[in-house]
Amino acid sequence: MQDRIERGSEALSYRQLVAIARRAAELAIGPAAMAQLANGRAIVERIVATGERAYGISTGLGALSEIVLSGAQQTELSRNTLMSHACGIGTPLSEVATRAIMVSLVNDLCHGKSGISPAVVAQLVALLNHGITPVVPGQGSVGYITHGAHIGLALIGMGDVVFKDRQLPASDALRAVGLAPVELGAKDGLCLVNGTRCLTGLACLALAEAEQLADWADIVGALSFEGLKGQIAAYDEAVLALKPHPGLLHVGRRLRALLAESEIVAQSKGFRTQDALSIRSIPQIHGASRDQIDHVRRQVEIELGSATDNPLVIGTPADYRVISNAHPHGQSLAMAMDLLAMAVAELGSVAERRLDRLINPAVSTLPAFLVQEGGVNSGMMIAQYAAASLAAENKLLAHPYVTDNYITSAQQEDHLSLGTPAALKCLQVIANARHILAIEYLLAAQAMEFYPGLKRGIGTEAAYAALRAEIPPYAKDRFLSPDIALVARRMSEGAWAGSIAAALPAGL
């Protein structure tokens, strides 16, 4: 039976959001959140009834905000907003990415400060729990609007969705599960396209994947360290304590645990005076990336706890305020996504340098390209080319989005965060870095074949065993691409990581 996560009076955590996005749990709206939704909607209905002028409720949008609308026009505006704003371009987002945005949207709306109709939120939850995922083009957002509009169309039976692995019209999917298109009221359309929900949902995914990748970087780096006869003195606890960045110290503890009881490391002491920086400075490099991940986590958690619509309604129907504001501006998360892309790109960059050393006999004691019969076999020669290509791509992708700017809505919106494209770019950087680490993992495990009879560390042995349970050593050249893909896939799952974690002290 699938787990059930309730959105109550408090915001969802990013881990809860990711679990729902990955269909590991269903979403429910608790009584406290329903009460908050009802209160916010009652305020909007009060505004409509009194004829008060309020942005996006009784006026047009953006540069058209000075145009006052009648009651019937207010409802029509909601439907028109979804249709006019759904102008996305390019390859659709993955189902997981779209679902992450949908969960983020529900979470934000449940603060009760947007004033959306509770029925619209219930429809979003129903689509999530029935596995109906709107087809959302990936490009075309400057931070918000377009992705939410495509999702909103599915709620009213327009556009296409993916349901049971098949793309079909949203109206057909709704009918198949006994749902009717939802009726939109005043402000409902604006509520669906506004705010930082798209950026926040994607940022939660990126954060969860980056955390996982940082753990793998330590594991694979430790395996390469063994293969390259690394000098363990560089990871000495007393030495690392002299530069007490939290991430650095944590990586140092993990490396010492992963390499504990290694006969290869013990036998290699004094083999060289000091290692190259890509080996010697794993705590410094990986630790710095972890510190940035910690910063991103704080930004994501704050954003999940934020109401990011415009306008926002505060108070009760008897005593309220409706306030135009700038909370849909995603500057904090946009900067965080650019920072995360740089932090993860560095994990991939140093991994590429380590794996290059594994195949180069000029800087290791290993056979050229990790193969015995060189010449007739090329071994891991071209795998390093692939890693270098991905590292080069990440260098370009790590260029920040947030420092650029464009003007939209006839200068009404004249500073943009570009946070959603920054998050999408960050997810691509993570995917590239994962494949670089998958290549390093294969090469480091192959290096172990040249240390027969020597015991590996308690963590590196678990890492070697997990990989070798599915991928045999390379005695001769084999088709490498499927192996790389398999390792990258296993790195994004939990079984291999769990078996390695079980071999280490708790908390590492």
∠ Cα 235 269 363 (to 5°): 90
Burial 471-490 (b: 16+ CB within 10 A, else e): beebeeeeebeebbeebbeb
421 and 280 both lie in a single domain: yes
| pLDDT tens digits, 341-373 | 999 999 999 999 999 999 999 999 999 989 887
| Residue 460 is assigned to a structural domain of this protein | yes
Instruction: Assign 379 a pLDDT band (cuts: 50, 70, 90).
Output: confident
Q: What is the pLDDT of residue 414?
A: 62
CA dihedral (249, 255, 258, 261) in degrees, to 10, reads -110
Cross-strand bridge partners of residue 5: 27
Backbone φ and ψ of 91, nearest 5°: -60, 135
Dihedral angle sign, alpha carbons of residues 444, 448, 450, 454: positive
353 and 311 both lie in a single domain: yes
Give the DSSP per-residue string, 326-350: -TT--HHHHHHHHHHHHHHHHHHHH
| CB-based contacts of 406, cutoff 8 Å, min separation 6 | 142, 416
> Could you tell me whether strands 312-316 and 25-29 are parallel, antiparallel, or unpaired per DSSP bridges?
unpaired
DSSP 3-state assignment of 312? Answer: strand
Average pLDDT, stretch 425-443? 98
| Residue 508 is assigned to a structural domain of this protein | no
Say which residue the tokens 């950026």 belong to. Answer: 199
173 and 34 both lie in a single domain: yes
| Residue 246 is assigned to a structural domain of this protein | yes
Burial 22-52 (b: 16+ CB within 10 A, else e): eeebbbebeeebbebbebbbbbbbbbbeeee
Interhelix angle 197-227/458-468, nearest 10 degrees? 110
| CB-based contacts of 468, cutoff 8 Å, min separation 6 | 445
14 and 40 both lie in a single domain: yes
Amino acid symbol at 8: G
Dihedral angle sign, alpha carbons of residues 155, 161, 162, 167: positive
What percent of the chain has a predicted confidence (pLDDT) above 70?
98
Residue 208 has pLDDT above 90, yes or no: yes
Q: What is the pLDDT of residue 5?
A: 98
| Residue 507 is assigned to a structural domain of this protein | no
220 and 104 both lie in a single domain: no
Which of 68-77, 233-242, 375-384, 391-400 has the lowest average pLDDT?
Answer: 68-77
Helical ranges in 377-475 per DSSP H:
381-397, 419-448, 458-468
132 and 264 both lie in a single domain: no
Q: Which residues are catalytic?
A: 55
Average pLDDT, stretch 376-391? 93
3-state secondary structure 360-385: CCCCCCCCHHHCCCECCECCCHHHHH
Where does a domain end: 194, 227, 257?
194
Whole-angstrom Cα distance, residue 408 to residue 95?
29
Total tally of structural domains belonging to the chain = 2
Residue 488 has pLDDT above 80, yes or no: yes
Interhelix angle 282-304/197-227, nearest 10 degrees? 160
Q: What is the pLDDT of residue 74?
A: 80
Q: Which domain holds residue 136?
A: 3-194
Whole-angstrom Cα distance, residue 195 to residue 326?
9
345 and 235 both lie in a single domain: yes
3-state secondary structure 137-196: EEECCCCCCHHHHHHHHHHCCCCEEEECCEEEEHHHHHHHCCCCCCCCCCCHHHHHHCCC
Residue 1 has pLDDT above 60, yes or no: no
77: domain CATH number? 1.10.275.10
Q: C-alpha distances in angstroms, 501 versus 192, 321, 421?
A: 41, 52, 34
Q: What is the pLDDT of residue 56?
A: 82
CB-based contact 100:202 (threshold 8 Å): yes
308 and 348 both lie in a single domain: yes
Average pLDDT, stretch 218-241? 98
Average pLDDT, stretch 312-322? 96
Q: What is the pLDDT of residue 411?
A: 62
220 and 182 both lie in a single domain: no
Instruction: Assign 46 a pLDDT band (cuts: 50, 70, 90).
Output: very high
380: domain CATH number? 1.20.200.10
pTM: 0.95
The DSSP output letter for 94 is P
Whole-angstrom Cα distance, residue 264 to residue 271?
11
Whole-angstrom Cα distance, residue 455 to residue 262?
6
Q: Which of residues 143 and 337 earns the better pLDDT score?
A: 337
Helical ranges in 51-145 per DSSP H:
71-85, 95-109, 118-130
Residue 412 has pLDDT above 70, yes or no: no
- Rounded mean pLDDT of the chain? 94
245 and 115 both lie in a single domain: no
Instruction: Assign 415 a pLDDT band (cuts: 50, 70, 90).
Output: low
Q: What is the pLDDT of residue 409?
A: 65
Strands (E), 274-330: 312-316, 319-323
Where does a domain end: 194, 225, 252?
194
Average pLDDT, stretch 411-423? 78
Q: What is the pLDDT of residue 455?
A: 98
Q: Which of residues 360 and 379 earns the better pLDDT score?
A: 360
265 and 408 both lie in a single domain: yes
Where does a domain end: 174, 194, 214?
194
234 and 108 both lie in a single domain: no
